[in-house]
Structure 1
Amino acid sequence: MGDEVQTLEYGSWPSPIDAALAARHDGHAEFAGFVGEEAWWTEPRPTEGGRRALVRRRTDGTEETVLPAPWDVRSRVVEYGGHPWTGTMTAGGPLVVFVNFADQRLYRYEPGSEPRPLTPVSPVGGGLRWVDARLRPGRDEVWCVLEEFTGDGPTDVRRVLAAVPLDGSAAEDRDAVRELTGPRHRFVTGPRLSPDGARVAWLAWDHPRMPWDGTELLVAEVTGDGTFGEPRTVAGGPEESVAQADWAADGTLLYTSDRSGWWNLYARDPDGRDRALCPREEEFGGPLWKIGWRWFAPLDNGLVAVVHGRGTTCLGVLDPVTGEVVDAAGPWTEFAPSLAVHGTRILGIGASPRSAYEVVELDARTGHARVIGAAHDDPVDPSYYPEPQIRTFAGPDGREIHAHVYPPHHPGHVAPDDELPPYVIWAHGGPTSRAPLVLDLAIAYFTSRGIGVAEVNYGGSTGHGREYRNRLREQWGVVDVEDCAAVALALAGEGTADRGRLAIRGGSAGGWTAAASLAATDVYACGTILYPILDLTGWGSGETHDFESQYLESLVGPLAEVPGRYAERSPAGHADRITVPFLLLQGLDDVICPPAQCERFLAEMEGRRVPHAYLTFAGEGHGFRRADTMVRALESELSLYALVFGLNPPGIPTLELTK
């Protein structure tokens, strides 16, 4: 190609970032922890059936995958799972307990031998599931969350804290599992034991609240025989979200609460008084989508490792005496809610717009941070990566809308001066979540071909305080749709995007926003809808899993009181309003947004002569994990834009649209 820049129309630039490359780099390391001096974590394996592998980094720096395929270290508790493993170093080497995805049993693993099951398989409903385990010092047990199905329905379930013996005596005997709490609350997190072993803390909440609406922080005494006394609530409530709790080395209880409007860190002194350790208008916590996520971790010396920020996150060390936070130096602009500590060593998982998530170790003594695992390695020349802009747009009533704009970018190509680029608005899932500012090769797949992307952190997104998050209360399908449209039209109005070539895409709750946007606005020429919610009434009355089964009570309103609102906002009931082409992508094993949602929607579209495609994927659940699935999904999405926008991307199979 040489150094000469060539002029080609948007959407037709040749790119080395193909769908297979993007698929191979989808997902990232999670759930880092220490086993003795060693760092361990889980990693995705898209080309191995989408499993999660357990990875070990020895003290000499060598890295190895611990368990071969098909072992898949992933929990299904609340379907989104959580921390799926725990371990300790013994005289004979590592002892690790993990959850295997296929049967959801806990297994004991010691290198050199096959994993041995510790829990039984249940014939009832969704079975027995486990998450957020901790080995109990001084007892041959692992303490964790037990999710137990009591019938075949998705909400026939109970959750308690439980102790599983490490000797395997419960492998075929459910009665050998010792329950530590009764099913007083619908949802619980794993137990955190105080340093002296005398007290235990955990979080709990109940329908219809989600954990970011209101949780309770419970504390109980631990008796000599390892049973719990009567728990008492020490923080939290219906309108206060406690996102995490843990004990400092001196026995002080630390927790994150949003009582100030922001998730800040608090210490509860022995006399029952609470102290804000670092009161700021930024987040030291987040939405608890996965049980066991950690935004802070106390060090033995009294300092606290923290993941914090506003709209983005840093890894830092907080001095609870002075309230000062010193952040790790390095290229990372985003840290996942995964922290572990050992001595003065801190493990985090960080990324940036130029690097994917990697395991980072921070030395709290020296402040030195380095990558020790899942190291980012540029699979192509980084000059092909997009160059994002952090933007704030004005929405209806002048409200702020946060977004990341990724203009088309190619080192060797530009478009004709008189052409404006097509843009795709990306609506994130959740909806109580946000789009992080990190390298995503799925975005680069489009921008390197000349298609712009704008990720919208619409009202309801996290990272900007409780007030911003609460904008979506009873307004889902309104505020999210308005905010995405406002960003799209602003980009067109300022001459950044082509008004006639705007698209919207999203998965899960973002799929809802995409479909609702096509039904409620005339902003977009087409849309890509992945594993969506399309019929609120069906989804809110038994069609989804227990965790989110009453989510719509706050997002839309009480179904019993405003059934008309559910019907009015649902794209499935308003097929006549959708007039532009769309692509619908669905996993057939999805229990969160089941295929029935898509099927009812398509039945309504029948005979309307709107061009569309519906692609289903056997073996895929909520969110795609297999490389071949992701390749087909990305190529089909690009083909939709090519057909609708008149683009000519080289080497992409043509998507067949039906009417």
Structure 2
Amino acid sequence: MVKIASYGTWTSPITAGDTGATGGGFQWADLHGEQVWWAESRPAEGGRVALVRDGVEVLPAPWNARNRVHEYGGRPFVVLAHDRVAFTHWEDQRVYVFDPASPEPVPLTEAPRRHHGVRYSDLSAGPDGEVWCVRESVTGDARTDVHRDLVAITRSGEVRVLGASHHFMTGPKLSPDGTRFAWIGWNHPQMPWDGTELCVADVGSSEHRVVTGSETEAVCQFEWEGEDLLALTDPDGWWNLFRVRPDGSRENLAPCEQELGGPMWRLGNRWFATLSPGRYLVVRSGHLAVLDERSATVTDVQTDLPTWAADLSVRDGVVVCGAAGPTSDYAVVRLDLSNGELTYLTGGQRSPVSAYLPVPMERVFGDIPAYVYAPSNPDFAGPQDELPPYVVHVHGGPTGRALPKLDTDIAYFTSRGIGVVAVNYGGSTGYGRAFRERLRGQWGVVDVQDCAFVARRLAEEGVADPARLGIRGGSAGGWTAAASLTSTRVYRCGMVAFPILDLAGWTSQGGETHDFESRYVEGLAGALPEAAQRYAERSPSNKARSVSGPVLLLQGLEDEICPPEQANRFAADLAGSGIPHAYLTFEGEQHGFRKAENIRAALEAELSLYGQAFGFVPPGVPVLELGR
């Protein structure tokens, strides 16, 4: 029998412990012959990334297949000939090699002189059993003191520099005939979705040539096809698949105003893979599709899983990848394209809490795409005279996007009677370069306005209680959440996790972020010193005491992307202000929380915040102590 109870007071079998247990999961997948390899995060093991072959773990604890190049990391393993496997180990960032039949890893590279002082990423197989990759070397004490090279690591551990064309580079890939290699490079102030160059060099030569791409065109993936290269790039404003010939001429294989690529936040993503000559598997804005060069068409593949990761591996018409749906998180799956047979290699079991999982409704508010997750619990309904509270979920990046896949954090709230709307504000990916560049120079304005517009529309439609609107976000989403709380009066409260709060500090001059994003703000808000006033006016750090209601700050103490300094200052400014607030910090956490116990603590604290701000008592969670 359905019980009538106020929104927010519903009980649910989805616990904060469940979200910590499932958080992380699938990371990378690959095919080597008939074998399926993947990496998966283990929150219950402190966020360790394990290596798995055909469902059997082959790299036991404490080994951790992860790296920190660009701080976001990249492809951490490659299967070599004779079943040798090379991987990067988080603890010391060295490259190790092992044989799964006798998994005692042996270091290939030397121990760095300083902790994490040399890192490797985007591993691929070179000639004669070599490992080819990007090497990142710390050259000084500033967070931006970093140099990168393309290197080859021999079987004996000798490291040979292949080249260094740009400040940032992807891992090199050898041509099929072994005479050339290619990579993508870019320099500040460009980010990899602004402008990159696809470079080619002869093996043994220090000279390279740019075959496509520019400061205003972004190549996000390439693969060799004989003497030619296949490249995802966006000269016409959409990531499409091109064939690039050695002379630099190129052909769009299926022109369309659709995104077949995405932002290169991590090194080693694969949005396309070759099925057969002239046919390619692609990830089109999260959907699996087939590009047919002969008909110049892109056609969705019909599956029960609408969201596919940018990590395609294909062999003989069978694809292996991570895929997810509205009620299922990313699982490693095998799909036989000849008959549509889908096999789960991880997950796939019906969850005992499936009935409590919300199914997002895709909507467009004006020109702002969003996913609406209504309160959902088969055991409860709200009173007829009461509207539910709603929380705006702001994705990170800001060059990122929300996707219609299971998010157990969102389900934790919706199953308790709190609605959530995930907004793809101007600047989000998946809608072409023009939509992405709506945020150029307007960060802290367009994102704030778009989120507020969606929240107000839900209230005007009678879907959400206008007096009980909240906002939540982490990283760049934390910036938008904090900027919204300090510049509008739409929200009653907010959760701000590992945030950017001070634009001037979050630059190479300010020294409060890492090298990869140290000039990101120039495109988002303008260059210094010309934009100094704009930085000051938009930064939440300069108006902490103007927040519109209670705020919860969450911060990992080992975060190099959004270090604790900014959250520390914000919390200090709130102290004694009379504004209810809490600041929770977590030892051993970097950017985003990986340990199950910390994920649980953060989520329970957030629910308690909503209860105190929206006027209900959530059952079964500790009361968050709010200072003033």
Which category of TM-score, normalised to the shorter sequence, fits these structures? over 0.9
Match of 2:558 in 1: 589
CA deviations on 1:524-544 (whole Å, 9 max, x unpaired) are 000000000111111122111
Task: State whether structure 2 residue 61 is matched by structure 1 residue 69.
Answer: yes
AA aligned to 2:43 is P
AA aligned to 1:116 is V
Alpha-carbon shift at residue 243 of structure 1 (Å): 0.6
Q: Is the 8 A contact 1:330 1:369 kept in 2?
A: no
Alpha-carbon shift at residue 608 of structure 1 (Å): 1.1
In structure 1, what is the Cα distance between the partners aligned to 2:288 and 2:379? 36
In structure 1, what is the Cα distance between the partners aligned to 2:283 and 2:205? 31
Alpha-carbon shift at residue 107 of structure 1 (Å): 0.5
Match of 2:280 in 1: 304
Within the candidate set 527, 532, 555, 2:494 is matched to 527
Task: State whether structure 2 residue 32 is matched by structure 1 residue 35.
Answer: yes
In structure 1, what is the Cα distance between the partners aligned to 2:610 and 2:269? 37
AA aligned to 2:121 is V
Match of 2:357 in 1: 385
Within the candidate set 166, 172, 195, 1:191 is matched to 172
CA deviations on 1:425-482 (whole Å, 9 max, x unpaired) are 0001100000111011111100011000000110000000000000111111101100
Match of 2:451 in 1: 484
* Pair 1:287–1:605, CA change in 2 (3 A): same
AA aligned to 1:533 is I
AA aligned to 1:387 is V
* Pair 1:67–1:625, CA change in 2 (3 A): same
Q: Is the 8 A contact 1:519 1:571 kept in 2?
A: yes
Task: State whether structure 2 residue 181 is matched by structure 1 residue 200.
Answer: yes
Within the candidate set 218, 227, 232, 2:209 is matched to 232
Within the candidate set 108, 124, 147, 1:134 is matched to 124
* Pair 1:577–1:381, CA change in 2 (3 A): closer
AA aligned to 1:10 is Y
Please state whether the residue corresponding to 1:655 is helix, strand or coil. coil
Alpha-carbon shift at residue 298 of structure 1 (Å): 2.2
CA deviations on 1:572-591 (whole Å, 9 max, x unpaired) are 11123224110000001111
AA aligned to 1:34 is L
Gap runs ≥5 in structure 1: 58-62, 171-175, 395-399
Match of 1:374 in 2: 346
Alpha-carbon shift at residue 302 of structure 1 (Å): 4.5
In structure 1, what is the Cα distance between the partners aligned to 2:348 and 2:289? 21
Bigger CA drift: 119-128 or 6-15?
119-128
Task: State whether structure 2 residue 525 is matched by structure 1 residue 556.
Answer: yes
Please state whether the residue corresponding to 2:511 is helix, strand or coil. helix
Task: State whether structure 2 residue 223 is matched by structure 1 residue 251.
Answer: no
Query: 1:510-659 residue pairs with structure 2 within 5 A?
Result: 510-540=477-507, 541-659=510-628
Match of 1:412 in 2: 379
Match of 1:110 in 2: 99
Match of 1:121 in 2: 111
User: Which portions of structure 1, spanning 4 or more consecutive aligned residues, are displaced by more than 6 angstroms?
Assistant: none
Within the candidate set 442, 447, 457, 1:475 is matched to 442
In structure 2, what is the Cα distance between the partners aligned to 1:646 and 1:606? 23
Query: 1:280-319 residue pairs with structure 2 within 5 A?
Result: 280-299=256-275, 301-309=277-285, 313-319=286-292
In structure 2, what is the Cα distance between the partners aligned to 1:362 and 1:383? 26
Alpha-carbon shift at residue 160 of structure 1 (Å): 1.1
In structure 2, what is the Cα distance between the partners aligned to 1:259 and 1:501? 44
Match of 1:88 in 2: 80
Task: State whether structure 2 residue 250 is matched by structure 1 residue 274.
Answer: yes
Alpha-carbon shift at residue 144 of structure 1 (Å): 0.6
Query: 1:414-433 residue pairs with structure 2 within 5 A?
Result: 414-433=381-400
Query: 1:151-170 residue pairs with structure 2 within 5 A?
Result: 151-167=140-156, 170=157
CA deviations on 1:148-190 (whole Å, 9 max, x unpaired) are 11122211111111001123xx3xxxxx3100003x3100001
CA deviations on 1:277-331 (whole Å, 9 max, x unpaired) are 111111110000001111012245453221113xxx2223322232233433311
Q: Is the 8 A contact 1:36 1:89 kept in 2?
A: no
Bigger CA drift: 376-385 or 624-633?
376-385
Within the candidate set 347, 354, 370, 2:320 is matched to 347
RMSD: 1.4
Kindly, what percent of the aligned residue pairs are identical?
52
Match of 1:145 in 2: 134
In structure 2, what is the Cα distance between the partners aligned to 1:88 and 1:326? 34
In structure 2, what is the Cα distance between the partners aligned to 1:162 and 1:378? 45
Q: Is the 8 A contact 2:132 2:173 kept in 1?
A: no
Q: Is the 8 A contact 1:527 1:581 kept in 2?
A: yes
* Pair 1:592–1:109, CA change in 2 (3 A): same
AA aligned to 1:285 is G
Please state whether the residue corresponding to 1:539 is helix, strand or coil. coil
In structure 1, what is the Cα distance between the partners aligned to 2:25 and 2:368? 27
Number of residues of Structure 1 aligned to a counterpart in Structure 2: 625
Q: Is the 8 A contact 2:374 2:414 kept in 1?
A: yes
In structure 1, what is the Cα distance between the partners aligned to 2:219 and 2:341? 29
Alpha-carbon shift at residue 382 of structure 1 (Å): 1.2
CA deviations on 1:217-241 (whole Å, 9 max, x unpaired) are 111122xxxx235110111111111
In structure 1, what is the Cα distance between the partners aligned to 2:160 and 2:318? 34
* Pair 1:327–1:88, CA change in 2 (3 A): farther
Bigger CA drift: 17-26 or 81-90?
81-90
In structure 2, what is the Cα distance between the partners aligned to 1:220 and 1:294? 22
In structure 2, what is the Cα distance between the partners aligned to 1:376 and 1:516? 40
In structure 2, what is the Cα distance between the partners aligned to 1:228 and 1:110? 33
AA aligned to 2:190 is R
* Pair 1:300–1:116, CA change in 2 (3 A): farther
Match of 2:219 in 1: 242
AA aligned to 2:135 is L
Match of 1:60 in 2: none
In structure 2, what is the Cα distance between the partners aligned to 1:521 and 1:503? 12
Please state whether the residue corresponding to 2:504 is helix, strand or coil. helix
In structure 2, what is the Cα distance between the partners aligned to 1:192 and 1:318? 23
CA deviations on 1:615-640 (whole Å, 9 max, x unpaired) are 00000010000000000000000000
Please state whether the residue corresponding to 2:506 is helix, strand or coil. helix
In structure 1, what is the Cα distance between the partners aligned to 2:256 and 2:290? 15
In structure 1, what is the Cα distance between the partners aligned to 2:417 and 2:450? 24
Alpha-carbon shift at residue 390 of structure 1 (Å): 0.3
Task: State whether structure 2 residue 413 is matched by structure 1 residue 446.
Answer: yes
Bigger CA drift: 295-304 or 597-606?
295-304
Within the candidate set 244, 260, 264, 2:236 is matched to 260
Alpha-carbon shift at residue 196 of structure 1 (Å): 1.4
AA aligned to 1:362 is L
In structure 2, what is the Cα distance between the partners aligned to 1:89 and 1:367? 31
AA aligned to 2:382 is A
Q: Is the 8 A contact 2:220 2:231 kept in 1?
A: yes
Match of 1:397 in 2: none
Q: Is the 8 A contact 2:129 2:154 kept in 1?
A: yes
In structure 2, what is the Cα distance between the partners aligned to 1:204 and 1:510? 27
AA aligned to 1:368 is G
Please state whether the residue corresponding to 2:421 is helix, strand or coil. strand
Bigger CA drift: 596-605 or 549-558?
596-605
Task: State whether structure 2 residue 317 is matched by structure 1 residue 325.
Answer: no
In structure 2, what is the Cα distance between the partners aligned to 1:509 and 1:194? 38
Task: State whether structure 2 residue 163 is matched by structure 1 residue 181.
Answer: yes
Q: Is the 8 A contact 1:328 1:369 kept in 2?
A: no
Alpha-carbon shift at residue 272 of structure 1 (Å): 3.6
Q: Is the 8 A contact 2:200 2:211 kept in 1?
A: yes
